[in-house]
Structures are given as C-alpha cells and as structure tokens.
Amino acid sequence: MGIIRTSKLIYEYIRRDEEGNPEGITRAVNDVDLDIKPGEFVAILGHNGSGKSTLAKHINAILHPTEGTVWVDGMDTTDEENVWDIRQRAGMVFQNPDNQIIGQVVEEDVGFGPENMGVPTKEIWERVEESLKAVGMYEYRKYSPNKLSGGQKQRVSIAGVLAMHPKCIILDEPTAMLDPNGRKEVIRAVRALNQVEGVTVLLITHYMEEVIHADRVIVMDQGRIELQGTPREVFSQVDRLKSLRLDVPQVTLLAYELKKAGVALPDGILTTQELVKALGDFAYASH
Amino acid sequence: MAIILDHVNHIYGGDTEMAVAALKDVCLTIPDGQFIGLIGHTGSGKSTLVQHLNGLLKPTGGAIYYNGRDIHDEDYNKKELRSKVGLVFQYPEHQLFEADVFSDVCFGPKNLGLTKKEAELRAYQALRQVGIEKEYFYQSPFDLSGGQKRRVAIAGVLAMQPEVLVLDEPTAGLDPKGRDEILDQVAKLKEETGITVILVSHSMEDVAKYVDRIIVMNHGSVMFDDVPREVFCHYRELEQVGLAAPQVTYIMHELRNAGLNVDPEATTLEEAKAEILKALGKR
C-alpha cells in the first residue's frame, strides 16, 4: 500500500458574497485517486487555481475531504487522533521561507519541530545536525536566518521538516520566490533527500525544468488529474500542456520546434545532452 | 529626457555598527522608451535601486535626476514624481482593497486630484491596456484568478499614467501561461505608448525574450550593462554571482562543442531554432 493514498477525493467550499451569504459551491478537488509509493518522487503541475495546493493540504491534514478518503502511511486523515502523527510523517514546505522560519538562530529553528514532539534533548541536537548536513546548511547553524539568502532560508525550512523524521515531504512551490541559484540549491537538496535518504517527495511547481528528474509527473486541471506519466511521456505532449496553461522545458520546446521544421527528432527530449546527441545523429545520417 | 543616477550610494543603518552598503557608486542613464531588465541574486541591491527611482529611498551619497532635475531638491514635487515613475511591487495583488475592480483602479488617479470622470476614463483605459475584459470591471478583485488580480494591480499603477513603469518580479508564483500573458501585455503596452519599462526578474529566459538592455547588479554595484546577447556571453561570471544564462544559450554552447556550426550566443528560442536549422543546411 502506498505511503499516500487518496480514494475518490472531493473537496468543495462555499463561495460567499460580501455579507457572508452563500453564492455557490466550488469543487476545488474533483474525484482524485492517488497512490504514491514509498521513495517515489512525484511532481504536480497545474495552472493557478487547478487544485494542486488544495490537494497538497489534504495530505498534511490541513484540509479534510468533503467526500472520499485520504490515507497517509495507512492513517485516515479525518481521524482526529491521527493528526499529529500524520503531520510528523508528512511534512510540508511552503512558498515563502520568511513565513516558515521562527527561530533566532538556524539550529534553534530546525530543532523546533522535534522539540515540540517531545524528543529528548540529546537526540534533538543529533537530528538538527543530520538535517542541516542533508541540505548542505550545517556550516550556517549558528547564523541568524535573516542573514541568509532565499535559497538558504528555504533549505533551512526543509531541514526543519526533516528533523521531524518524516517519511514524506510535500513542497508547495518552494522555489517561486528564489533567484536561479537559490532554485538550483533547493532542487538539488530535494533530490538528494529523495535519492540518499529515501524520503518520498511530492513537489508542486510552475518551473517545468524542475520536474524532469521526477519518477512521475501529475498534471491537474479543474481539480482533476488530467494527465500523468513519466516526465518524458508528459512533456511529449507540448500542445496539450500549452492548452492547460502550462509549458515544457526550453530544451524540449526547442526540439519540438525543430521537429516541426522538418528535423527528425524523437519526442520528449528532456535534457541538453539528449538534444545534442539526437542532433549529432541527425547530422550524421543526413551526410 | 531620462533618469540619471549619478554616483548613487545607499548605506542602511549608516549611523550604527550594523551598517550595510546596499548601493555602491551606481551610475546609470535610463533614456525614454527603453525596455530594461534588472537582474541580480537575492540581496544584490535591485530592490534598493528601484526604490530610489521614485524617491521612496534617498541616496546617502550621490544624486538622482529626473528629466534634468534633482529629485531631492527642496522644491521638487515628489508627489508628481511618484505619478510619473510607477512602481509595481512584488505580489501587488496583496494591495488590492476595493469592493470592485473598477473602483480599485480609480483610487490612484482620484488621489492625484482628478475629477471623477477623468479618473474613471483613466481606469477604463488602464484596464484595457492590461487586457482585463469589461465583464470583470464590477466583480470583486478577490474573485479573480492570480494572473488577473496581478494585472488589475498593474492597471492601478498605469491609471496614474506614468512615464516609467517599474515591475518588481511581476510573474512570481504565476503559471507559465499567466507569465506569458503579463509580459506580452507589458511588451504591447510599451509598443503602443512608448513608456519606459524596467523589469526586475529572476527568469533569464523572460529577460532574454523581452528586453533591449540588461543591467546586472552584484553586491550593490552594476556588474554588466549591455544588450542581452552581450551580457549572456558572460554566463560563467553570471553563474558565480547566483545567476545564469537562458537555457538555450547553454544548449547552443553544447552543440557548438559537439561540432555543430552554430553561433553559441543565441539567447532566445527563435534565434536558436534559426541557427540550428541553418547549421543543418535546412535553410
């Protein structure tokens, strides 16, 4: 059984006018079945308002299903007794690092989670150390978070979640506010967690290049899963993604444009190396 | 007619032990009608710089001239300056507050002391300029999508009819289509009105696609100031300061290394496509 599973998940909320009178019902998540295996790296794409974040908040028991069920590590999220266990197993990282960091010193911030869980002091420090090392921020442990760059702050947020020893980490647009280097640092840290520590990752993003290494890409539209598959399968469908207000990595788009202009290239090229090789083969074949 | 920054310095907390020099001897000329990209890593001084352009921050050294006049002269009309240099902050939709879209956009021009009719005319025009359809005019701004809200917020600044529009990361958090829509509208607006646009961005691909000139900030100083093609030639140096070149520039360099006869300095998808087709003998 998957670490995260949803069955016929529906979430509705009531829209209200200025006076608080109900105007109508919006279905933000519509009949979603999801089964994520332990250790999997899953990316979720979708335009603004497609239901990605609403779905993610169910996994952390911040929202509860209107209909259907969500299980995290076998626990039903609607059962009040499970809430703390669920939040420890499935940690969440949000868009703005400044809203997530509370400590005056990096290591204190990272220790906040395990301390709240009642972990013995000695073990808290061990966890802080290993978490900061995992995201490459150990040398900054004595710094004030104010002195860090956006990418560094976001890695501290991730370490804070890691220190709670989650089985799964959900990142909701963790790189939206970062510069190119910050984005790279965060994605590198997330990939390392997944590959080295075996943490299950659910990454929500608007940057297509960030998901090419995922095991699976899920595309949402109007609260439903519209498309899913490996990055190659998903990014082969350039026109479909564009109609869903999304995009493909620039190298994929370049290959697609070249193909339209008559260059015989395979579909779904994801990396520069693949394009270079394919174009090399083509140039060779045409001589 | 232009904005001139003459040896501008800005030190935060200059009278304390925690003094930080955020701008160091910045000299820039921003002529009318340019589309400028301002890039730099977090903390490089971009935001400090743009806040000087409309007098929100006062330089601790040096001077800023707008159309030939020092904006910190005692008799200089700062209020007018702020209507001429419009600043759109990050996440501007957080500043929407009126009950409907139209009133929100009217707020700025009304504050300028214009008549109700004049303010409404400007609001109408500004909303058209950002591509918001009439059907949304009397809806609550909070019922719109993320991209629409942001365009309404930009209209609020446009309604002041600025001569210079500064956009601080206008596409952060938007989906790819939303990003393109906003930037396409801004480019169109620039074409139609000749307004000067300064785009602060973390997306090298967007900057390469839209602007005529790139200013790169690093540790409070101007590191590069040139056309995109020339700036992105220095991609190794850009990487060292937390930036990068657009993805296609890397692709072109790799192709060149692999023996394909392409110009490695292409910065946009169209340029790259044309170069590769040429090298393959397709055109």
A162-207 per-position pLDDT tens digit = 999 999 999 999 998 888 888 998 999 999 989 998 999 999 999 9
- B227, B213 contact by CB (below 8 A): yes
Residues 150-169 of A with CB under 8 A from B: 150-151
Q: CA of B28 to nearest chain A CA: how many angstroms apart?
A: 23
List pLDDT tens digits, range B192-218.
999 999 999 999 999 999 999 999 999
pLDDT, position A148: 85
Using the structure block, give the residue that is written with the tokens 């093609």.
B229
Residue A98's pLDDT is 83
Q: Is A94 on the interface with B (CB under 8 A)?
A: no
In this predicted structure, the answer to whether residue A27 has a pLDDT above a threshold of 60 is: yes
Judging by beta carbons within 10 Å of its beta carbon (0-12, 13-18, 19+), is residue A33 exposed, middle or buried? exposed
DSSP string, A174-187: TTTT--HHHHHHHH
Q: Please give the pLDDT value at position B259.
A: 86
Residue A104 inside a domain? The answer is yes
Contacts of B177 in chain A (CB under 8 A): 47, 242, 245-247
**Neighbour-count burial of B13, counting CB atoms closer than 10 A to its CB (0-12 exposed, 13-18 middle, 19+ buried):** exposed
pLDDT at A68 over 80: yes
**Which pLDDT value is given to residue B43?**
82
Is residue A144 included in any domain, yes or no? yes
| Cβ under 8 Å to B: A residues 3-42 | 15, 18
Cβ distance of B176 and A249 shorter than 8 Å:
no
A249 touches chain B (CB under 8 A): yes
pLDDT at position B20:
87
Identify whether A47 is part of a domain.
yes
CA torsion sign for A93, A94, A96, A101 is negative
- Domain containing residue A195: 37-64+77-230
Q: For an interface test with B, give the residue of A172, A179, A221 to mutate (most B CBs within 10 A).
A: A179
Nearest to A272 among B99, B147, B250 (CB): B250
CATH number at residue A89: 3.40.50.300
Q: Which residues of chain B have pLDDT under 70?
A: 1, 282-283
Q: In this structure, how many other beta carbons lie within 10 angstroms of the beta carbon of residue A26?
A: 12
**DSSP bridge partners of A90:** A168
pLDDT in tens, A100-147: 888 899 999 999 999 998 999 999 999 999 999 988 899 999 999 988
Query: Are A181 and B246 a contacting pair at CB < 8 A?
Result: no
Q: Which residues of B touch A (CB under 8 A)?
A: 40-43, 99, 140, 143, 145-147, 172-179, 202, 204-205, 239, 242-244, 246-248, 250-251, 254-255, 258-260, 269, 272-273, 276-277, 280-282
CB B25 within 8 A of CB B187: no
What pLDDT does A286 receive? 60
Mean pLDDT score, A246-255: 94
CB proximity A242 to B under 8 Å: yes
Q: Does residue A179 belong to any structural domain of this protein?
A: yes
**Distance (Å) from the C-alpha of residue A251 to the closest C-alpha of chain B?**
7
Q: Do B42 and A276 touch (CB under 8 A)?
A: no
CB contact under 8 A, B140 and A254: no
Residue A150 lies in a domain: yes
The chain-wide mean pLDDT, for chain A, equals 91
* A49 contact residues in B (CB cutoff 8 A): 145-146
Tell me whether residues A178 and B276 touch, CB distance under 8 A.
Answer: no
The DSSP symbol for A132 reads H
pLDDT at A60 exceeding the cut of 80? yes
| CB-CB under 8 Å, A251 with B247 | yes
Residue B171 Cα, gap to closest chain A Cα (Å): 9
**Can you give the pLDDT at residue B211?**
96
Residue A251 in domain: no
Q: Specify the pLDDT at position A191.
A: 94
Cβ contact A251:A270 at 8 Å: yes
Chain B residue with CA closest to A18: the answer is B99
pLDDT of residue A287: 56
Nearest to A276 by CA among B77, B54, B13, B251: B251
Cβ distance of A279 and B280 shorter than 8 Å: yes
Can you tell me the distance from the alpha carbon of A276 to that of A261, in angstroms, rounded to the nearest whole number? 17
Smallest CA-to-CA distance from B39 within B176, B232, B184 is with B232
Closest-CA residue to B235 (of B252, B221, B219): B252
Reported for A63-68, long-range contacts at CB under 8 A and 24+ positions apart, including other chains, are A63/A11, A65/A6, A65/A9, A65/A10, A65/A11, A66/A10, A66/A11, A66/A12, A67/A8, A67/A9, A67/A10, A68/A6, A68/A7, A68/A8, A68/A9, A68/A10, A68/A31, A68/A32
Pick B269's closest partner by Cβ from A180, A250, A283.
Answer: A250
The pLDDT score that the predictor gives to residue B282 is: 65
Per-residue confidence (pLDDT) for residue B17, from 0 to 100: 82
- Residue A113 counted as domain residue: yes
Could you please report the per-residue DSSP string of chain B?
Answer: -EEEEEEEEEEETTTSTT-EEEEEEEEEEEETT-EEEEE--TTSSHHHHHHHHTTSS--SEEEEEETTEETTSTT--HHHHHHHEEEE-SSGGGG--SSSHHHHHHHHHHHTT--HHHHHHHHHHHHHHTT--GGGTTS-GGGS-HHHHHHHHHHHHHTT--SEEEEESTTTT--HHHHHHHHHHHHHHHHHH--EEEEE-S-HHHHHHH-SEEEEEETTEEEEEE-HHHHHHTHHHHHHTT----HHHHHHHHHHHTT----TT--SHHHHHHHHHHHTT--
| Interface size between A and B, measured as CB pairs under 8 A | 123
Number of domains composing chain A: 1
Q: Which pLDDT belongs to residue A284?
A: 65
pLDDT band at A13 (very low <50, low <70, confident <90, very high): confident
pTM (2 decimals)?
0.87
Contact B269 A254 (CB under 8 A): yes
Nearest to B173 among A176, A242, A245 (CB): A176
Q: Return the SS3 of A28.
A: strand
Percent of chain A clearing pLDDT 70 (strictly above): 98
In a domain, A223, yes or no: yes
Confidence of residue A72 (pLDDT cuts 50, 70, 90): very high
Cβ neighbours of B205 in A, within 8 Å? 250
Write down the pLDDT at residue B156: 94
Reference A148, options A132, A125, A124; nearest CA is A132
Six-digit token string for A179: 């510069």
Interface touch B282/A261, C-beta < 8 Å: yes
Nearest Cα neighbor of A235 from A257, A211, A259 is A211
